[in-house]
Chains A and B, each alone.
Chain A
């Protein structure tokens, strides 16, 4: 029964980027282990938050799910179809149903195209609307995201960051997708504008029963918008559970440290908190640590953590964690 509701099932997804040497005859000398075997499911109409620090592979995950990068191995089943096996026209057809909102609203809109052309481009490419209908569709989309339809003849530089991100949202909605990958859609925006965009995303989700894969590094915003939250570290998922459970009972030491590092805007509550400060930086994904990838920074690591990679196991119903020591 619940299976019917699953819109996206990612299974053991791996994406390695080759490192090559040589100018004419390129030889692979290593690989960046950007994503190294992650699995999750998202149900229709829900939001999965994917959090982690820069360089942990969360954006690569989002792009590999959409087949913007072809995975090294693993499967991505979307709407009952394994996207990894598709190519050409079949894949293009599936792309209509999945869209992306990018992080930087200053870099993700073509400065030489008008807003109308940007939002309407996918309608033209996928031939879903006639020429004379496009203008109306674009006007509707702009209205939907809270912009004046008369703006469609303007260029991106005439808009503020928040407005540009709304244009990005309108573009993603044009083909009436089922899944939208939001890759840090708000981290380039000011605080008061962030709230505007998040509220817009929530309203649209309700209106169109959209499914989001919401990628962010801001734990409090992810908690706010997501139903399920997955925590990623150096290419692997370390914890996945319901948002309330994750924040009230984090099991993985990395999640615990991440949560304790988030500043709370309340001096009284903040002074009472116990803080775990992690030492050092995230290791390089070219040569990740053996066994558990977090062990080099983990405050409770033991000998076994260096020997075997912890299994991503369901410790409690619906609560997955990859740690030898979690109980």
Chain B
């Protein structure tokens, strides 16, 4: 498929811990088209962040290890690339915005220095030119009096402003892919709305592809074109956004949706909760990883892990049960 910008195949990432090897990502495959916004949804520990960190080879090793898989970006397998090669991709062609704007900026360097760093490194700009460009970038992400603020330190910015700085930094080299790892989770709702609008605007202006990692199905609904739902290191449902929300298939996705109170709900419903907790996988399961918490589970779920299968146009699900009828597929 030539139109894929990023093509991840069979990615497996493991971590060595004192209790055994944790299988964090277990054979994840997905593609990202040019200019597409992909939502990657799941709860803490489901492997969504590790998946994207693996693609950029940012997994600390040891204890982490990318055990298998390929990740093609513009025809090049990032997982086989040399350190030199991957450095040219990271921050330049694929960049990342991290969750916590309070800790992801260096507190002892000015904003101007941090912003111009990648411009000097990747684009070979001179310092003066890089600072000018940094001011333009700050303006682009909506920071007033951008020139004066270049000499400020991160603590002089509020949380929302710091996240804008992070976005400016990620966009500084005009990347083709922006990976946003829960960029709004640490922010207030009104600030979250500002950041989402900003990213949407920049996406339309600059035409980059976005992978938006989040646990919030609400944010994804207004943002993404396609959604991947992860659980226990597996992709368990994948669909175009309208298809997914109108035709939920996997019991986990249904549970996740049911546990969200709706702002537009009529009357009072009891929330659907998913009992138990997400698993930590010390070995690849030979059953469905969601089976212990699943209310639809049948005998087969205990003995075989369901593969991701297409059930409708642009809709893939990994489940032995057809949740619409409650019987086996």
- A262 with B242, Cβ < 8 A, contacts A195-B273, A199-B271 known: no
Within 8 A of A (CB), among B252-278: 255-265, 268, 270-275, 277-278
- Which residues of the other chain, B, contact A3 by a CB distance below 8 angstroms? none
Residues of chain A lying within 8 A (CB to CB) of residue B75? none
> Contact partner of B189 among A160, A261, A264, A271, CB < 8 A?
A261
A224 pairs with B261, CB closer than 8 A: yes
Residue of B nearest to A225 (CB): B261
How many A residues have CB within 8 A of the partner chain?
A: 43
Which residues of chain A are near B275, meaning CB under 8 Å?
A: 196
Chain A residues with Cβ below 8 Å from B218 are 262-265, 270
Name B194's contact: one of A224, A267, A277 (CB within 8 Å): A277
Q: Give the residue name and chain of the B residue nearest to A271 (CB).
A: B222
Q: Separation in Å of the B279 CB from the closest CB of chain A? A: 11
Contact of B259 among A192, A257, A262, A278 (CB under 8 A): A192
- B277 with A193: CB separation less than 8 A: yes
B233 is an interface residue with CB less than 8 A from chain A: no
A90 at the interface (CB under 8 A from B): no
Tell me the bound Cα distance from A16 to B324 in angstroms: 56
Which of chain B's residues have a CB closer than 8 A to the CB of A261?
Answer: 189-190, 192-193
CB distance from B117 to the nearest CB of A (A): 26
A198 to B274, CA, bound (A): 12
Give residues of chain A (175-209) contacting chain B, Cβ–Cβ below 8 Å.
190-196, 198-199, 202
How many whole Å from B190's CB to the nearest CB in chain A? 5
**Contact string against B for A residues 267-284, beta-carbon threshold 8 Å, 1 for contact and 0 otherwise:** 111110001011101000
Is A235 an interface residue when CB atoms closer than 8 A count as contact?
Answer: no
A257 to B194, CA, bound (A): 11
**A192 and B259 alpha carbons, distance in the complex (Å):** 6
Between A and B, how many residue pairs show CB distances below 8 Å?
124
Q: Does A210 contact B (CB under 8 A)?
A: no
Query: Chain A nearest CB: distance from B315 CB in Å?
Result: 14
Contact A223 B261 (CB under 8 A): yes
B269 (CB) vs chain A CBs: closest residue: A224
Q: Is the interface of A mostly helix, strand, loop or mixed?
A: helix
Alpha-carbon distance between A268 and B241 when the two chains are bound, in angstroms:
10
Q: Do A258 and B259 touch across chains, with their CB atoms under 8 A apart? A: no
Report the bound CA distance from A193 to B158 in whole Å: 30
| Cross-interface CB contact of B270 among A199, A218, A221, A265, cutoff 8 Å | A199
Q: Is the CB of A264 within 8 A of B263?
A: yes
Q: Are A190 and B44 in contact (CB under 8 A)?
A: yes
Residue of A with least CB distance to B259: A195
Contact A224 B255 (CB under 8 A): no
Contact partner, A267, options B158, B241, B263, Cβ 8 Å:
B241
A-side contacts of B191, CB under 8 Å: 53, 281
Say which residue of B192, B242, B272 sits within 8 Å of A268 (CB atoms): B242
Q: How far is the CB of B12 from chain A (nearest CB, A)?
A: 24
> B188 at the A/B interface (Cβ < 8 Å)?
yes
Contacts of A202 in B (CB 8 A): 270
Cβ contact within 8 Å between B221 and A267: yes
| Chain A: CB-nearest residue to B272 | A195
Q: Given A261-B189, A263-B222, do A199 and B273 touch, yes or no (CB 8 Å)?
A: yes
* Chain B nearest CB, measured from A171 CB (Å): 21
A223–B255 Cα distance when bound, in Å, is 20
* Shortest beta-carbon distance from A204 to chain B in Å: 14
Chain A residues near B268: list those with CB within 8 A. Answer: 224
Question: Is A259's beta carbon under 8 Å from chain B?
Answer: yes
Q: B282 contacts which chain A residues (CB < 8 A)?
A: none
Nearest chain A CB to B3's CB is how many angstroms away?
Answer: 23
Assess whether A158 is interfacial by the CB under 8 Å rule. no
Q: Is B160 an interface residue (CB 8 A)?
A: yes
Q: Which of A206-240 contact B (CB under 8 A)?
A: 217-221, 223-225
Contact flags (1/0) for B172-197 with A, using CB distance below 8 Å? 00000000000000001111111011
Which residues of B are found within 8 Å of A57, using beta-carbon distances? none
Q: Which residues on the A side are within 8 Å of B242 (C-beta)?
A: 267-268
What is the interface of chain A, defined by CB distance below 8 A to chain B? Answer: 53-54, 160, 162, 190-196, 198-199, 202, 217-221, 223-225, 247, 257-271, 275, 277-279, 281
Interface pairs A-B: 10 shortest CB-CB = A263-B218, A195-B259, A224-B261, A261-B193, A195-B273, A53-B188, A195-B271, A192-B274, A190-B43, A270-B222
Chain B residues close to A by CB (< 8 Å): 43-44, 158, 160-161, 188-194, 196-197, 215-222, 241-242, 245-246, 255-265, 268, 270-275, 277-278
User: Could you jot down 11 A-B contacts, CB within 8 Å?
Assistant: A160-B277, A162-B277, A190-B43, A193-B273, A199-B273, A220-B260, A224-B261, A262-B189, A263-B196, A267-B221, A281-B161
